[in-house]
Amino acid sequence: MLSAAQMEIIKQTVPVLEDHGEVLTRHFYQRMFRENPEVLAFFNPAHQHAGTQQRALAAAICAYARNIENPAMLAGAVELIAQKHVSLGIQAEHYPIVGENLLASIREVLGEAATDEIIDAWAAAYGALADLFIQREGEIYRHQTEVHGWQGFKRFVVRQREAASDNIVSLYLVPEDGQPLQPHQPGQYVTLRVTPENGVPVMRNYSLSNRPGSEHYRISVKRELACDAGAPDGVCSNYLHDRIAQGDVVELAPPCGEFVLTPVAEAGKPLVLIAGGVGITPILSMLYAALEQQPDREVIFIQCALNGAVRPFERELATLRGEYPNLTVHVRFSEATDEDRIRALHDSEGLLDSALLDQLIGDQDAEFYLCGPAPMLKHGWRLLKQRAVEDADIHFEFFGPAGDLAA
């Protein structure tokens, strides 16, 4: 239990965290990976290289310090992180490792400024936060066992493999033991674990792109190539594209995630689903669920892609468009090719903009779900705020460490 004096000390450290948070978190990760290499498997090296993991942790620490007297304000962030932790199999015994390295980094980075009182206060604050996560994660683990019948990793067979676009491959996965799958919540992801040729297991989260209640899980994976000369190619995505074939076995943890389609909040309010690139995967699962569960609701599906070559699920969406009169599908390419125009593969060109939202939605109030690259999410969020859409009607998911759309 944090004392009033300790809470005051934590609040006083906020300016220091705002100025030096990323230095601290970089030091923390380097120290933890050096001192406790057993935790390396829980982290994506591409996120470490890009700095997104360090920035996300720095922002989370600052937010916790600002709200130390009322941690309930962080309920959404806690749920997101707890779901991610469970997806990777993080257990209560991992928290002391993090705590020890975090406190050591605070002392080593701040030097003499890190007094015993500050270290004691942050030790108490970390302990309270760890207890909160351990309790919530225990609840999620129990829920997985009750609903899906397992926790941890289970062997799945690749029943089918198909190209969703030039850079995305879909894998259809069924349990090796033949047990039926329970429906996932539309928008959830699973964690896949494979062991490439170097013998080091890797874990990655992939959204489920299939209709909830299918007899299989489907993940649709984009081949991730290095963005710059010093960055690594995606280890797992390239392995899945190049080496995993029909009949192979992979391991999956049960569905997780808080970015899920919620029941209709208000009768008659249209549902608008906006997908950018491979961000379509959770959005497509939501689309299937909405069309089946809410047949009288207007559904507007906006798919943003570079061009037809990398636009996934073309035939699937065309089929749904023909089957459901309450569904409007609009495809927008930002870098359309001459072939796209000849084949009429898209409805418009350019980036997502206010004119398109006005055309499709008009002045109706609507509920929005967005998923895609961070720049697209930030752009979309700003467009929606310009339309005076309430925060409660804007749902989104980052692929990778969470960021701030308002930044």
54 burial level (CB within 10 Å; 0-12, 13-18, 19+): buried
- Residue 403's alpha-carbon distances to 22, 26, 158, 368, in angstroms, are 14, 17, 33, 18
Going by C-alpha positions, the residue among 88, 22, 85, 92 that lies closest to residue 52 is 22
**Within a 10 A sphere around the Cβ of 223, how many other Cβ atoms?**
16
Q: How far apart are CA 366 and CA 299, in angstroms?
A: 10
239 is catalytic: no
How many whole angstroms separate alpha carbon 58 and alpha carbon 319?
Answer: 45
Sheet strands (E) in 264-383: 271-276, 299-305, 327-333, 348-349, 367-371
d(CA 182, CA 208): 13
Token code pair at residue 395: 């749902």
Find all residues with CB under 8 Å of 240, minimum gap 6, and list them: 169, 171, 192, 194, 221
Q: Which of 29, 64, 126, 137 is catalytic?
A: 137
Closest CA to 38 of 201, 256, 252: 201
State how far Cα 128 lies from the chain centre.
25
Measure the CA–CA gap between 62 and 184, rounded to whole angstroms.
33
| 137 a catalytic residue | yes
Q: Where do the DSSP E strands lie in 223-360?
A: 249-256, 271-276, 299-305, 327-333, 348-349
Whole-angstrom Cα distance, residue 129 to residue 134? Answer: 9
Catalytic-labelled residue, pool 95, 206, 239, 288: 95
Q: Is residue 169 helix, strand or coil? A: strand
What are the residue numbers of the active site?
95, 137
